[in-house]
Amino acid sequence: MLSFFNISKWSPPRILVTGFAFIILLGGLLLSMPFASREGLPTPFIDAVFTATTATCVTGLVTVDTGSHYSVPGQIIIMMLIQLGGLGFMTMATLFALVLRKRISLKERLILQEAMNQTSMEGIVRLIRKVILYSLTIELVGAVLFAIRWSFDMPLGKAVYFGIFHAISFFNNAGIDLFGQFGVPYVSLTEYVDDPLVNIVTMLLIITGGIGFIVISDLVEYRNNKKLSLHSKVVLSMTGFLIVFGTVVVFIFEFTNARTLGSLHWGGKILASFFQSVTPRTAGANTLDLASLRQATQFLTIILMFIGASPGSTGGGIKTTTFTTLIGAVIAMIRGREDIVLFRYRLARERIFKALTITLLSLSLVIVVTMVLSTTEDQAFLKILFETTSAFGTVGLTLGITPELSTVGKIIICLTMFAGRLGPLTLAYALGPRAEKELYRHPEGKIIIG
C-alpha cells in the first residue's frame, strides 16, 4: 500500500493515469468558475468535470453546448485541454524540457514509450519532436483554411479564432465545436453538409490525426526511404478500407432517407456519406442529424466507433491494427495456418494475445457500462449502446441523450471516456499489482473449442 504513494516507484501506466486524472480535475475546477461561462455564473461541477473529461480525453460528448454556454476564456481552457489531451501531457512536458535544454531521464523515456504505445525506447525523443512539429504544422494549415472559409460568414477576427479552435479540435479528434452560439445548440457542422472546403479540410484533419504520428512520419520520409513499415502499411490499408466500406454502406442505407441524404444533390450525398464514414474514427463532428439515421446506419456507426483510430494517434477505440490482427487470426484459422501473415511478415504470438486481450476488455467495458446505463437512464437501448461506444472510443457522436443523462450517468460516461482514452490494458497495468515472473510452467492440457 505504501508503494502506491511513492511516486518514484510508480510504473509508467500509473503515472499516465494519475497525470490525466489531475489534468481533468484541474480543468473541471477552472471550467466551474463564473468567468468560464457566458452568463458569469458558476457551472455545476459535474458538468464542468464532464466537459474537462471530454476535452482531455478528446471525445466530444457534452452536457452543455460549448459555443453557447462557455465564455471565450472557458473555450480557450477547453481548447488547451484538447491539445494537452490529444498530444499527451508527457509530450507537452517533453516539449518544455527540450526548449529549456533539459535532459530527458530514463524514467521519462519509459513513460513516453507507454504514452506513445511504442515497443521500444529507441528514438522516442526524436519521435516526440516529430509529433510536436507535425501536429503544429497540420493544425496551422487547417486553421488558415478554416479562417479563409469562415471569413465569408463572420468577422475576420472571429473567423481566425474559429479556425484555430476547430483545427485543434478536429486534428485531435475531439469534435467539439462552437457553432451552437449561433442559435441552435449541438448543431455541429450540419449547416455545412454540402460545403466541399469545410468537409474536406475537416476529414483530412480527422484522418491525419487518427492514423498516428508514426505513420505520418513514415509518409513524410517516404521520399527518402522509398518504403513503409509494416505498421504503416496495415494502418493505411485498414483505414482506407473502413472509410470506403463505411461510405458505401451509409450511401446505400440513407440514399432514400428524406431526413438525411434524400434531400441532398448527388455531390452532397457523396460528401455526407464520406464524412459520416470518417467521423466515427473517433472525431465526433457530424454533418447529418444522427438521430434521423436509420437504425442500420446507427449500428454501423457503433461498429466503426468501436474499432476507432490507430495506435500512437489522438483517437481511441480498439485500434485498426488490433482489428486487423483479429481478422488475420480468423483467416489463418480458416485456412489451417499457424501464423498470421501480413504483407509477408509473420506476427508474433505476443501481438495476437495482446489484440485478443484489448478486444475482450474493451467489449466487456462497453457491455457492462451499457447494462448499468440501461438501469439508470430512461432511454432506448440502441441510444445507450451508441452513447457508451462513443464514450469508449472517444468519438463524441451522440443520438442526443448526453444532456439528458442523470448525475450517475454523467459520472459513468466520464469514467468510460477516461478508460477509452488511456486504454483498458493501460488501466489494468496501472491499477493492478506488479507482475511477477512465473517460476514454473504447468503441464499442457487440451479442451474442445467450438
In the prediction, which pLDDT does 212 show?
82
> Bigger pLDDT: 214 or 267?
267
Nearest CA to 166 among 49, 89, 75? Answer: 75
Phi (first) and psi of residue 341, to 5 degrees: -115, 125
Residue 405: band (very low, low, confident or very high) from pLDDT cuts 50, 70, 90:
very high
Q: Say which range, 36-45, 198-207, 331-340, has the weakest mean pLDDT.
A: 331-340
Helices (H), 41-155: 45-56, 66-69, 72-87, 89-99, 106-115, 124-150
On the question of pLDDT at 303 being above 80, the answer is: yes
Which has the higher per-residue pLDDT, 377 or 100? 377
Would you say residue 440 has pLDDT above 90? no
Please indicate whether residue 212 or residue 410 has the higher confidence score (pLDDT): 410
Predicted confidence (pLDDT) at residue 90 exceeds the cutoff of 60: no
Over pLDDT 90: what percentage of the chain?
56
CB 115 within 8 A of CB 91: yes
Q: Which pLDDT tens digit goes with each residue over 101-117?
A: 556 555 555 555 555 55
User: To the nearest whole number, what is the mean pLDDT of the chain?
Assistant: 86
Q: And the C-alpha cell for 283?
A: 472525431
Most confident of 11-20, 38-47, 414-423: 38-47
Flag whether pLDDT at 425 surpasses 80: no
- At 5 the pLDDT is 43
20 falls in which pLDDT band (50, 70, 90)?
Answer: confident
The predicted-structure confidence for 124-157, as pLDDT tens digits, reads as follows: 667 677 778 888 899 999 999 999 999 999 999 9
Alpha carbon distance 183, 407 (integer Å): 26
345 φ, ψ (degrees, to nearest 5):
-120, 135
What is the C-alpha to C-alpha distance for residues 24 and 332, in angstroms, rounded to an integer?
Answer: 43
Strands (E), 304-447: 341-342, 345-346
For residues 340 and 322, the answer to whether their CB atoms sit within 8 Å is no
Measure the CA–CA gap between 56 and 146, rounded to whole angstroms.
23
Q: What average pLDDT does this structure show over 87-109?
A: 57
Q: How far apart are CA 255 and CA 261, in angstroms?
A: 5
- Whole-angstrom Cα distance, residue 57 to residue 173? 10
Return d(Cα 222, Cα 428) in angstroms, integer. Answer: 37
Beta bridge mates, 342: 345
pLDDT of residue 185: 85
Decide: 115 and 102 in contact? Cβ < 8 Å. Answer: no
If you average pLDDT over residues 187-193, what whole number do you get? 90
Output b/e per residue, 218-246; b: 16+ Cβ within 10 A. Answer: beeeeeeeeebeebbbbbbebbeebbeeb
Rounded distance between C-alpha atoms, residue 352 and residue 347, angstroms: 7
Under the phi-then-psi rule, with left for phi > 0, alpha for psi from -120 to 50, and beta for the rest, what region is 59?
Answer: alpha
- Name the more confident of 235 and 20: 235
Q: Do the Cβ atoms of 50 and 398 come closer than 8 Å?
A: no
Alpha-carbon distance 279 to 177, whole Å?
14
Region 237-263: mean pLDDT is 94
Amino acid 232 reads: S
Nearest to 212 by CA among 81, 325, 319, 358: 319
pLDDT at 9: 61
Choose among 211, 419, 172: nearest CA to 310. 211
- Cell numbers that stand for 159 in this block: 473567423
Q: Return the C-alpha cell found at 281.
A: 474514427
Amino acid identity, residue 361?
L
Q: Which residue has the higher pLDDT, 181 or 89?
A: 181
- pLDDT at site 88: 67
What confidence tier does 299 reach under pLDDT thresholds 50, 70, 90? very high
Band the pLDDT of 421: cuts 50, 70, 90: confident
- Burial track 56-67 (b if 16+ CB lie within 10 A, e otherwise): bbbbbbbbbbbb
Hey, which residues does 70 pair with through a beta bridge? 37
282: buried, middle or exposed (CB in 10 Å: 19+, 13-18, 0-12)? buried
Give the lowest-confidence range in 8-17, 41-50, 361-370, 376-385.
Answer: 8-17
Predicted confidence at residue 53, as pLDDT, reads 95
pLDDT score of 293: 94
N-terminal to C-terminal alpha carbon distance within the chain: 43
Say yes or no to pLDDT of 270 above 60. yes
Taking CA atoms, 109 is separated from 14, 99, 126, 128, 213, in Å, by 15, 17, 11, 10, 17
Does residue 158 carry a pLDDT above 80? yes
- Could you tell me the residue ranges of all domains in the chain? 2-431
How confident is the model over 61-86, as pLDDT tens digits? 999 999 999 999 999 999 999 988 88
Q: What is the pLDDT of residue 287?
A: 92
In the three-class reduction of DSSP (H, G, I as helix; E, B as strand; rest coil), residue 352 is classed as: helix
- The predicted model gives 311-329 an average pLDDT of 88
Instruction: Identify the pLDDT of residue 409.
Output: 95
Q: What is the pTM of this model?
A: 0.88
Alpha-carbon gap, residue 360 to 358, rounded angstroms: 6
